[in-house]
A and B are shown apart, each in its own frame.
Chain A
Amino acid sequence: MARVKLPIGPQHPALKEPENFTITLDGERVVDVDIRIGYTHRGIEKLMESRTYTQNLYLVERICGICSYAHVVNFTQNVESILGIQIPKRAEYIRTLVLELERLHSHFLWLGVAGHEIGFDTLFMYTWQDREVVQDLLELISGNRVNYAMNAIGGVRRDLSDDQRKKILEGMDHLEKRTAYYKEVAINEKTILARAENVGILKPKIALKFSAVGPTVRASGITMDIRKDDPYASYAEIPFDVITTDTCDVLGRIVVRVLEVFESIKIIRYLMEHLPSGDIVMKVPRKIPVGESISHTEAPRGEDIHYLRANGTERPNRYKVRTPTMANLPVIAEMLKGTFLADVPIVVAAIDPCMGCMDRVLLLKEGSEKQGDLIAWDRLRAYGIKWYAERGWKA
């Protein structure tokens, strides 16, 4: 039978975000995959060069809508490293708390998406209901559900009250019970096993070869976790385990994330019980001295690494971001080779891709105009109104 090339995306009902996969099929089997990205590139690295460090604090948060805080922590750690300051211990604890709450909500979100991709929408609705508990806690602490604006350069912007600590601990009790149930479901439910076992195989050798990161490699038996390898915030003093499995398949990636939820709950309880007293922020200068710094964190999807070059002014000279999805992209192609077409969505979802995070530099442009033209917002709006008006719609 002749091979068929099947383009999926950038706009496609099975995709949650714009990306393009060109899949070569031999019957129902995938034999080759080509991935195109860049559809949501927003130019953040370039934008950062023209904004002050304080403005960038809020821009960096908008790289991602899920793991926003991992980016902010990297940014503030980089600036603080060049300044040569050590932030107050209480601030470090609060940062670690928000990082772990973020991991909880991200993992619940992912578990729901994974359920949805295999047609198990009950799981999706259950986990997203529980995710609301985490979202409410984040809102209680920071005032926001997604972009928390918790960090300042030199510490955090909001303190924790005793009442908030109590509510966080209550939330953890609830989530622990629910996660115990999800663990049972993930390991025993026949529909999950049928769709996830021995699907999307990633051998440890391949994972290492392509420098993959996060739960994706931990499900291939590789112990890599930046929280342990190169501790930041207050991870060096908190007891927790790095979860790995050696099944190398989608099921392993489910199990790793579910078990990581328990570890996060354990970390949050430790933080709440040992929260030091004292200041939460220190005063820092507006101008950052000449220097460079690398900071990386274990975001929910894996290693998130940032590089900062400062030139003594109020603005960075260069800021570089590499998100975990970018690191995991080459292994998607490896995991897809040999699977059935129907398994493509769940295998892709199993790395927990976040395309918005990964693409950062797009300059908007329209096909009908001269090539390479940029288009300003008001003109784009006028274009949209005209486009619909021509088709009989009212603006």
Chain B
Amino acid sequence: MTVTIERIKEVLQTVTPDIQSKTPRRVFVSIPRAELTKTVNIIASELGAQHLSTITALDTGTVFEVLYHFLVDGIVVTVRTSCPKDDPTVDSIVNIFPGAILYEREIHDIIGIVPTRHPDLRRLVLPEDWVGGYPLRKDWKPPEGEE
């Protein structure tokens, strides 16, 4: 059965009323952090999602937003959650989507969001001995004395 935007709304309304689709084939689902594992499980089991395109993390200035982009029958379903800056943690979804392993390492590396229960949180793109902080945070400044 092909998944439609109506079907996505129907399945996910048990988790959140905040489901928006402003442009064709794009759905944004906003959820509290505690509901992440449950929501991703529903997307995998009931919508049959098999492809996690990527994870985006961003600093809004007040909180960190984390967006999980899934591809389901040509529709990009984005699950949006956020975490406070003094507690930058979200549950890891690696046990549901193993493809998340590098994407979670990346957000940990460059913005400092810790995916809890992630099996391997080594650096991904920054050098192993990097001490310059998290470059993609808005308050980040290059280490002093240089351009």
Contacts and interface: CB of A to CB of B under 8 A. Distances in A.
Interface stretch (A183-191, A251-259, A371-379): A371-379
A210 B100 CA distance: 8
Contact of A38 (B52, B59, B74, B125): B125
Contacts of A376: 146-147
B26 A38 contact: no
A309 B65 CA distance: 11
Nearest to B110: A361
B54 A320 contact: yes
Interface string B106-147: 000010000000000001111101111001100000110111
A46 interface: yes
Given A294-B26, A361-B126, A329 B67 contact: no
Given A81-B23, A229-B73, A296-B76, A208 B54 contact: no
Contacts of A359: 125
A303 B51 CA distance: 11
Nearest to B76: A294
A326 B101 CA distance: 11
A292 B129 CA distance: 34
B143 to A, nearest CB: 6
B15 interface: no
A120 B106 CA distance: 37
Contacts of A391: none
A336 interface: no
Contact of B74 (A229, A305, A372): A229
A282 B83 CA distance: 40
A307 B65 CA distance: 13
A330 interface: yes
A294 B75 contact: no
A216 to B, nearest CB: 13
A245 interface: no
A305 B52 contact: no
Nearest to A212: B99
A230 B143 contact: no
B2 to A, nearest CB: 11
Interface in B9-59: 23, 25-26, 28, 50-54, 56, 58-59
Interface in A297-318: 303, 305, 307, 309, 317-318
A320 B135 contact: no
A309 B98 contact: no
Given A38-B123, A211-B99, A374-B142, A363 B132 contact: yes
Contacts of B51: 208, 211, 224
B99 A230 contact: no
Contacts of B123: 38
A322 B26 contact: no
A7 interface: no
A41 interface: yes
Interface hub of B23, B50, B56 (most chain A Cβ within 10 A): B56
Nearest to B147: A376
A160 interface: no
B99 A209 contact: yes
A163 to B, nearest CB: 37
B8 interface: no
A210 B101 CA distance: 9
A38 B103 contact: no
B125 A361 contact: yes
Contact of A307 (B69, B100, B130, B142): B69
Given A361-B110, A374-B146, A46 B136 contact: yes
Given A46-B136, A330-B102, A320 B56 contact: yes
Nearest to B123: A38
B145 to A, nearest CB: 8
Given A229-B71, A230-B25, A230-B76, A37 B124 contact: yes
8 contacts: A38-B124, A45-B136, A230-B76, A296-B53, A309-B58, A361-B110, A372-B132, A374-B143
Q: Which 10 residue pairs of A and B lie closest in terms of their CB atoms, listed nearest first?
A: A211-B99, A322-B54, A372-B131, A374-B146, A38-B125, A229-B74, A318-B58, A320-B56, A230-B74, A210-B99
Given A38-B124, A43-B135, A305-B54, 14 more contacts: A37-B125, A38-B123, A45-B136, A46-B136, A211-B100, A224-B51, A230-B74, A293-B23, A305-B69, A327-B54, A360-B125, A361-B126, A371-B129, A372-B130
Interface of A: 37-38, 41, 43, 45-46, 81, 208-212, 224, 229-230, 292-294, 296, 303, 305, 307, 309, 317-318, 320, 322, 326-327, 329-330, 359-363, 365, 371-376
Interface of B: 23, 25-26, 28, 50-54, 56, 58-59, 67, 69, 71, 73-76, 78, 97-103, 110, 123-127, 129-132, 135-136, 142-143, 145-147
